[in-house]
Each structure stands twice: as C-alpha cells, then as structure tokens.
C-alpha cells in the first residue's frame, strides 16, 4: 500500500468514526429529551403507589394513621411511624434522573432509563417497576410499626 492509499484508508475510517459518533450523540440527545419528558410522570406514579401502600397497610391493620405520609417538597416523600421513632425518605432529582431511597439502615439509588420508549427505574442496569420500588420502600418502615 502506497502512502496515498494509506491516507485514503485513514480518511475513510475517520469519516466512519465521525458518523458513528454523530449518530450516538443524536441518540443520546433524543433519549435525554424523552427522559426529561417522561421522568416526572414516573415519579408521580411512584409517589401515588407509595401513598396507596401506606394507606392500604393502615386500613388492613385497622390503624389508619399508623404511618404518617408527607410530601414537604414536590421531589421529596417522607413516611414516619406514628410515634415518631422512625422515618424514611425518598428524593427524586430530575436534573440527574436519580431516585434516592433513604431507608432505616440502607440507601438505594435508581436511575431513569428508556426501555421501549418508556421511562423506567433501573438499579445497576436492572429494571425495577415503580410498584416493586414502592413496596420495598414501605416494607422497610412497616418493620417499626
């Protein structure tokens, strides 16, 4: 291969790499836009499921206010045991697409990713439903009732 052929080959490879990078950048930007649009609804769904689990537990136990539910900020949920001995908190950081559950003895973090055009929570690459996360969260505080 002479010098000119070598240079042409390098140019072809460079153009191909640039096109692949541009395609990857466009895909990432589209995914970011989709996350920004869908993540608030995912957070709302999770909050609703958490509240529902708290209310269902209290009703089944026959003590409606055994757990105290509050949302001091739109991106924060706090659940306390009625006697005030324990509490857990959930935070949703839209700008980082991150959900943090601060439970009694552990913290769990979930990211938001797009799967088949839907926003989902994922922890270390494993997808978790909002229902499963709500149950895990509320089950943590129930131990202290």
* Residue 41 pLDDT > 90: yes
Residue 96 banded pLDDT, cuts 50, 70, 90: very high
* Residue 18 pLDDT > 90: no
Average pLDDT over residues 118-127: 93
pLDDT score for 85: 84
Domain positions in the chain: 40-142
Find tokens 């959900």 and name the residue: 99
- What is the CA 56 to chain-centroid distance, rounded? 24
Instruction: Give helix 3-61 / helix 130-142 axis angle, nearest 10°.
Output: 50
Task: Find, among 46, 47, 34, the residue nearest to 119 by Cα.
Answer: 34
Average pLDDT over residues 110-138: 94
pLDDT score for 64: 86
In CATH terms, the fold of domain 40-142 is Metal Transport, Frataxin; Chain A (3.30.920)
pLDDT score for 83: 85
State pTM to two decimals.
0.84
Average pLDDT over residues 115-141: 94
């Amino acid at each position: 291969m002479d010098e000119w052929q070598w240079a042409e080959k390098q140019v072809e490879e460079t153009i191909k790499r640039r096109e692949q990078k541009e395609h990857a950048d466009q895909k990432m930007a589209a995914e970011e836009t989709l996350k920004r649009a869908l993540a608030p609804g995912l957070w709302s769904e999770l909050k609703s499921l958490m509240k529902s689990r708290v209310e269902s537990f209290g009703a089944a136990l026959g003590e409606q206010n055994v757990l105290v539910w509050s949302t001091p900020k739109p991106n924060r949920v706090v659940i306390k045991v009625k006697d005030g001995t324990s509490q857990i908190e959930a935070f949703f950081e839209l700008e980082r697409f991150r959900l943090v559950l601060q439970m009694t003895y552990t913290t769990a973090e979930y990211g938001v990713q797009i799967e088949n055009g839907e926003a989902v929570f994922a922890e270390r690459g494993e997808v978790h439903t909002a229902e499963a996360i709500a149950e895990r969260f509320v089950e943590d505080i129930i131990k202290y009732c």
